[in-house]
Chains A and B, each alone.
Chain A
Amino acid sequence: MDYALESLIKIAIVLGVIITTVAYVVLAERKVSAYIQNRLGPNRVGPWGLLQPLADGLKFILKEDVIPNHVNKAIYLIAPAAILVPALMGFAVVPFGDTLMVVGREVQLIISDADIGVLYILAVSSLGVYGVVLGGWASNNKYALMGGVRASAQMISYELSLGLSLIGVLMIAESLKLSDVVNLQATGTVLGVLPAWFVFNQPIACLVFMVSVFAETNRLPFDLPEAEQELVAGYHAEYSSMKFAMFFMAEYAHMITASALIATLFFGGWHLPGVDPTDSSFALSVLKVLVFAVKTAFFLFVFIWVRWTVPRFRYDQVMRLGWKYLLPLALLNVLLTGLYLTLNR
């Protein structure tokens, strides 16, 4: 019972943080893009526009909910949920800190430290594409249909290299638990000076993973399913009010999970070089959570930064990139890692 209660509290906190972060990442996106483009961005609602997300949310709720009468209604209604739920569930196995002593209990800062964490996160996050495809098809709109088709084309382009890029990491970590992956990175060094983060001993994997994860989150340069200038809004062209907002939230929640995952798998998670990873005093535990948050925020910034810098691929080009560049690179990485481990056994 205590365990269930503890889980519930953690879930409530994590979901609350994610949803608030989603709102503020939207604001951050608008602010960062504005500064990239010599503009100011939203600055009317609250100081520095800080209440903008609140206003946006209210607006979405109060908008008319148009359900066009040509749609396949059941699927049309399920689609936004089918994309939002997996996006929110992905975070479950990500350790957002080490442990924390709360009222005499040692609480592990992770919702579920499942044995198959890595597999779970790959499985759940790739479910999101169903929402896109179903939404695109159910709308009975040509642009939406093409958006859905593009989403499936994109999925079969990056998913292979996404999965393969992690093999090298797992070979070293010997575990699918994300907490083990982080703990391993918190000990030892690479070449004597660098922390043992996987970005340093699995650089190819890191590169392939980051590119693939950009494609999975449908962010520019891979935003083909919604490509505004081509398909207008693509798969969510026929969605309005809160249903549209759910697609929106899902994209950003996905981005948060993806950033957290990059930080966890390749940049040491909550580990800060120079801090004793075994010390679990209250102050240090909080510091670790902060370190994790800062790393995640940084990758969120990278997501935004890239979006406002590069043009968009065409969808056969994404496929070419996935199959002809990323897949061979990921295979090569597995081979190199195996060779290295064999020679140094």
Chain B
Amino acid sequence: MLSDYLPIVLLLVIAAGFAAVNLGITHLVGPRKPNPVKLSPYESGVPNIGDARLRFSVKFYLVAMLFIIFDIEVVFLYPWAVVFKDLLAQGTFVFTEMVVFLGVLVLGLAYVWRKGGLEWD
């Protein structure tokens, strides 16, 4: 029912308002005594060497790509899981289907694992 989502929208508005109040309140109430050292980035108390805006090496990007693939597979499982019992009433073929689908998933995982796709360090 669409009306189920009305409270969620209300909650979103209220939560966002709460966050906005929090963001603003110290701005109004808190003291302000800025100085150059306070406003500089923290790096263990010594002058920085370079800054953080660089092409940072993200070693696990391969795992991140695998994640997207597997995550989509998991989403496919959700509707199927909900109707699993219903379909079972019509015969056990749904279980075979599931084994095949999961089998493909496991095969993929095993392949990636064997190939060292999960080792990135």
Contact = CB atoms under 8 A, between A and B. Distances in A.
Say if the two chains contact directly (CB < 8 Å).
yes
Given A8-B10, A115-B4, A80 B51 contact: no
B33 A64 contact: yes
Given A66-B39, A70-B41, A89 B8 contact: yes
Contacts of A44: none
Given A61-B29, A88-B18, A111-B11, A160 B71 contact: yes
Contact residues of B: prevailing secondary structure:
helix
A341 B99 CA distance: 13
A143 B45 CA distance: 13
B77 A81 contact: no
Contact of B118 (A69, A172, A320): A320
A62 B29 contact: yes
A140 B64 contact: no
Contacts of B27: 65
B93 to A, nearest CB: 10
Interface residues of B, number: 70
A140 B40 CA distance: 10
A84 B17 CA distance: 11
A273 interface: no
A149 B56 contact: yes
Contacts of B84: 171, 174, 338, 341
Contacts of B78: 119, 167, 170, 176
B58 A156 contact: no
A140 B41 contact: yes
Nearest to A115: B4
A115 B97 CA distance: 26
Contacts of A320: 118
Interface of B: 1, 3-8, 10-12, 14-16, 18-20, 22-23, 25-27, 29-34, 38-44, 48, 51-53, 56, 58, 60, 63-64, 67, 70-71, 74-75, 77-78, 81-86, 88-89, 92, 95, 98-99, 102, 105-106, 109, 113, 118, 120-121
Given A64-B30, A119-B78, A316-B121, 18 more contacts: A11-B7, A12-B14, A15-B11, A60-B26, A68-B41, A85-B15, A112-B6, A113-B4, A140-B51, A143-B43, A163-B74, A167-B77, A232-B42, A242-B22, A319-B60, A338-B98, A341-B84, A345-B89
